[in-house]
Every structure is written in structure tokens, then in C-alpha cells.
Amino acid sequence: MRILAISGSLRRDSHNSSLLRAAAELLPPGDEIVFWDGLRDVPAYDADEDREPAPAAVASLRAAVGAADAVLFATPEYNHSIPGALKNALDWASRPFATNPFRSKPVAVVGASTGMFGAVWAQAELRKVLGAMGARVADVEIAVGHAAEKFDDAGSLADGDVRAQLAAALATLRAEVDADLLVAA
């Protein structure tokens, strides 16, 4: 299984990016996680500019999603919603609507915030957006609240409960991918 990991945070010491790195450490041998780091370079969506060739960062996102068996998002919450940069990138990726690379793609959403609720509203909105794009949204939620206390200074996950939840989320995503392969066979 090849998972594309997308963090909704541009911050260098992002807890959400750390969460994705922790997920990568839990993957069984043979599976891999690829990190997409083009978020910062995606221009504001403009339908007049949405033509071939697409802006480089948009093309890289579309290609990376297309090449992945599944996509794992970790999103912060900004003002109870999805960070604008992430939503903007997904708006680009959602076009052309009928053939967008997220269509039927297994996806899972997790999130971390420094507050007590662990980005639950942002996660819910991200799941809604991904569903609208035609993705197969896995029944996964990991709400890492008080994130500053869950990672050590080097950004390593220091919380066994969250680690167990991440392992379960990866198993759920794997089941979605396996179901996908069965349908395709």
C-alpha cells in the first residue's frame, strides 16, 4: 500500500506533520508513506487559470494523489474550520470534477490542535469536502488535543494511546484499499 500523507499545516514544527511521521513509523514492511510538501506553492484557485498545463504544485498534487492507493490527511483547525491553504489545494485537485484524482480514492482524516478538542470541527469539514469530491472517506477520527504535550521536543509522538489509534486508522485505511482492489479484480 502506498499512502500519500498531506499535512494541512505549513508550520516547520507542525504537530500535524509530526502525527503523519508517527503514522509512517507504524506502517508494516512493504507499505510506504510518501509526503506531499507542495502545499505552500499552490496558488489561490482561479478558474481562469485552471487549464493545462496546470501550475506545477497543482500538477504535483494531482499526480501524487493519482499514484497513491490512499491518502492520509492530518489537519490543524483554524477558526473551527479547514486551514485555507489546504482547502484551496483541494479545490484545485477537485477539478475536473468527473475525473479528479480523489474520485473513489480511500482517504482518512486525523488532526491535532493545541486546544482540547483536537481539531474535530476541521476534521469533520475536511471529510465533508473530500466526500463532495467523490473520495471514499474512511470511518476514522483521531483528535489529538493538547498536542504540545503529546510530542517531545524532537516532534516524536510520546503518547501510546494516540499511537494505538494511528495503528488502527492505518488498518482501516488498508481495509478500504483491499476492498477497492477486490472490486477492481
Ligand X SMILES: Cc1cc2nc3c(=O)[nH]c(=O)nc-3n(C[C@H](O)[C@H](O)[C@H](O)COP(=O)(O)O)c2cc1C
For the CB of residue 90, give the shortest distance to ligand X in the complex, in Å. 17
| Nearest CB to ligand X, comparing residues 31 and 159 | 159
Does position 20 interact with ligand X (CB under 6 A)? The reply is no
Does position 125 interact with ligand X (CB under 6 A)? The reply is no
Task: Select the span of 34-42, 58-66, 70-78, 173-181 touching ligand X (CB under 6 A).
Answer: 70-78
**C-alpha span between 103 and 89 (Å, rounded):** 15
| Nearest CB to ligand X, comparing residues 18 and 100 | 18
| Interface pick for ligand X out of 1, 147, 169, 173 (rule CB under 6 A) | 147
Which amino acid does the sequence have at 2?
R
Q: Note whether 100 and 134 are within 8 A (CB).
A: yes
Does position 128 interact with ligand X (CB under 6 A)? The reply is no
DSSP 61-100: HHHHHHH-SEEEEEE--BTTB--HHHHHHHHHHT-SGGG-
Does position 14 interact with ligand X (CB under 6 A)? The reply is yes
Does position 113 interact with ligand X (CB under 6 A)? The reply is yes
Does position 123 interact with ligand X (CB under 6 A)? The reply is no
Burial readout 147-168 (b: 16 or more C-beta within 10 A, e: otherwise)? beebbeeebebebeebbebbee
Grid cell 497543482 is found at 58
Q: Is the bond leading into 53 cis (omega within 30 degrees of zero)?
A: yes
| Interface pick for ligand X out of 1, 6, 9, 87 (rule CB under 6 A) | 9
| Interface pick for ligand X out of 47, 52, 79, 96 (rule CB under 6 A) | 79
Distance, C-alpha 57 to centroid of its chain: 16
| Nearest CB to ligand X, comparing residues 59 and 124 | 124
